[in-house]
Structure 1
Amino acid sequence: MNKHIVKPVLFIGLAVCTALAAFTLDNKKANNIPVASPGYKWTRLTDNAAFRKSYNFQLFSQNNLLWAFHPEGNYYSTDGKQWTISALTNSIHNLAFLDYVQFDNSILGLGYFKGNIEQYELRTPVTQTKDLKTWTTLATKTNLPKRFFYHPVVFKNRIWIFGGTADGEKSLDDAWSSADGVQWIQEAEHLPFGERSGQQFIVFNNRLYMMDNDVWVSDDGIHWEKIADQITNATLFGYASVVFDNKIWLLGCNRNGQFASKVYVSGDGINWQEQDAPWSPRGGIAAAVYNGKLYMTGGKYGGFRNGTTETEFVYSNDVWMLEKIK
């Protein structure tokens, strides 16, 4: 499932400063929000999962299990409550910069990133796991576009990459695709929605959707049509996108530089309904649909400590489940 954020520019540079300036930390805030949205119910499964509190990692439904691909190891669960660490290691290293992607009944690790935005090592190996016990290296060096802060998406039996950044400063506006994760071809040099990094992609009703503050749709990954100038009248950042119950769900929609727990839901990508969620404000969450229910965990929230000028980041490892009320 699509992860998390501008892998995100949300957490570097000015965006962090804006978010910090806007909030005083209050860990009890979530208790004041109704736990049910119309037609759906959120349930907290655990306050403290087995994996460490963190953000910008991924959840997958794979091999009949719910998986958390965490920076410190990969965990699996049958119910979202009890988690077991797997022997499978973290092959791409820094999950804030690169993603795994589900493809052809397996999970691929696209590239390797070690370090931070100021000093890093970026390489282009591609790894694959089918049994979720060991990785197979498909190639140590590929023509995988050398970049980060992008979210790969599978569309029409190919893996697609749109935009991202090669240096952490300038975003890109091209499109690449691959039938195996190893050999890549450039499909478009300049996309109509322009230079972007961290934008979200989902496949919905056999069409490919790009979501940022605006929404674009494509039938082939190359030709795009804008269908919404804005999702809401605020600048959104830090959300994860999931298709659940034949709707597009945007989770953890932080607005105008402020962390929040907003959820936006749409049946067409044009008209969006805003909902409050019971979990605490955060960005960089992990989300996936498993056994017909939507699960989310992780995230990061920043602000000033109790009205002081001392900054603090709060990380999460609680697990929540959303289900449709019958």
Structure 2
Amino acid sequence: MKQFIPLLISLLASCSNQSNENASESAEKPVIKPDSSYVWTKILDSADWKKNYNFQMFSNRDTLWTFHPDGNWFSTNGTNWTKSQLPNSIYNLAFLDYVQFNETILGLGHFEGNIEQFTFKPEIYKTSDFKNWVTISSLSNIPKRFFYHPFVFDNKIWIIGGEDKQTKYSDIWNSPDGINWTKQKENLPFGKRGGSQIVFLNGKLYLLENDVWSSTDGLNWQKVTDEIVKGEQIFGYSTQVFDNKIWLLGCNRNGQFSSQVLFSSDGKNWLTQNAPWLPRGGIASTVYKNKIYITGGKYGGTPNHPNFRYDNDVWTLEKKLFFSGLP
């Protein structure tokens, strides 16, 4: 028996040394953990549509669409675009919006002219094939106003506020079909306003202007914050929900458009990202295949830049994962 004891001790020592070597080798290997970052990529210097601002982009049926004053273009990759035979039904897209509803696009009204002299028709247009518009109502009771952004919630189309030649409004309307509209509430706590952006995130609607309000039913609203950026007036941006965050694209901050992007997961606490594209406002944007797409925009009208610059480049924002070794 004694003759096996040295052999046993030797084997145990060998196992111990091998274990220590394996542990040492394991300790020397870097631990790989993902670190996320948001990356902008320019995919087109100049798209097929004319440089302009205050038009729209949509993602519908696995296709990317640009709804432009001069017509509508579509693409499946964001790089190669085809002009559709579908025309612009609304006409002046600086005053009224299209809205995506149940895989169709509705044009809510027809606006010709400018704020001083214009013609408004309460006509409602609908396209299902993205080739032709069907006028589904020539005399809808849609509120005769502009500078609002319709949104879809609870299987209805909603309008909050907006303005006409005389005043701004502080009311809420909705419609199950875009034709028949019902006023649901007025004298809202955030007061009269036009141009507010409304998005849906984590069971809440967020109404964004310079301040932020939230609601779970579209009717009762609570203030989230008085200012998105303390001490600054923020406006003129396009809004998207991406990666469980609200994104503000093309902000005018204290009268100066910049290329800074603001984003937040709760509407109260905001972070800033410096984007590589030229400063602008009135951007067209949408989320398509896990990326934010932007195009268009306008910059200028300030003492330093009295002339306006318009854009038609196309950019994407995506979340990328980078792996790095940790000590």
TM-score by length of 2: 0.85
SS, match of residue 311 in structure 1: coil
Task: Determine the C-alpha separation between the residues in 2 that align with 1:154 and 1:262.
Answer: 28
Identity %, equivalent residues: 55
- Pick from 236, 239, 242 the counterpart of residue 238 of structure 1: 236
Task: Determine the C-alpha separation between the residues in 2 that align with 1:206 and 1:108.
Answer: 25
Q: Which runs of 4+ in 1 moved over 3 A?
A: none
Contact 1:50 1:82 in 2 (8 A): no
Q: Letter of the aligned partner of 1:289 in structure 2?
A: V
Q: Letter of the aligned partner of 2:68 in structure 1?
A: H
Structure 1 residue 262 displacement after superposition? 1.4
Instruction: Work out whether 1:92 is the aligned partner of 2:90.
Output: yes
Unaligned runs of 5+ in 1: 1-37
- Pick from 214, 223, 227 the counterpart of residue 217 of structure 1: 214
- Pick from 134, 158, 177 the counterpart of residue 180 of structure 1: 177
Instruction: Work out whether 1:119 is the aligned partner of 2:114.
Output: no
Contact 1:113 1:121 in 2 (8 A): yes
Partner of 1:203: 200
SS, match of residue 250 in structure 2: strand
Task: Determine the C-alpha separation between the residues in 2 that align with 1:144 and 1:222.
Answer: 18
Matches within 5 A, 1:242-321: 242-303=240-301, 311-321=306-316
Structure 1 residue 207 displacement after superposition? 1.4
Instruction: Work out whether 1:106 is the aligned partner of 2:121.
Output: no
Structure 1 residue 259 displacement after superposition? 1.3
Unaligned runs of 5+ in 2: 1-35, 322-327
Contact 1:254 1:262 in 2 (8 A): no
Task: Determine the C-alpha separation between the residues in 1 that align with 2:144 and 2:301.
Answer: 33
Partner of 1:129: 127
SS, match of residue 67 in structure 2: strand
Cα deviation code 1:297-326 (max 9, x no counterpart):
000001469x6xx83110000000001012
Structure 1 residue 63 displacement after superposition? 2.0
Q: Which has the higher contact order (CA 8 A, sep 6+)?
A: 1
Task: Determine the C-alpha separation between the residues in 1 that align with 2:270 and 2:169.
Answer: 28
Contact 2:256 2:302 in 1 (8 A): no
TM-score by length of 1: 0.85
The CA RMSD measured in Å over matched residues stands at: 1.5
Task: Determine the C-alpha separation between the residues in 1 that align with 2:301 and 2:143.
Answer: 35
- Pick from 148, 167, 171 the counterpart of residue 170 of structure 1: 167
Partner of 1:139: 137
Q: Letter of the aligned partner of 2:193 in structure 1?
A: R
Q: Letter of the aligned partner of 1:195 in structure 2?
A: K
Instruction: Work out whether 1:324 is the aligned partner of 2:319.
Output: yes
Residues matched between the structures, number: 286
Structure 1 residue 206 displacement after superposition? 2.2
Task: Determine the C-alpha separation between the residues in 1 that align with 2:78 and 2:235.
Answer: 26
Partner of 1:31: none
Q: Tell which structure's C-alpha radius of gyration is larger.
A: 2
CA spacing shift, 1:304–1:175, aligned 2, 3 Å:
closer
Matches within 5 A, 1:186-197: 186-197=183-194
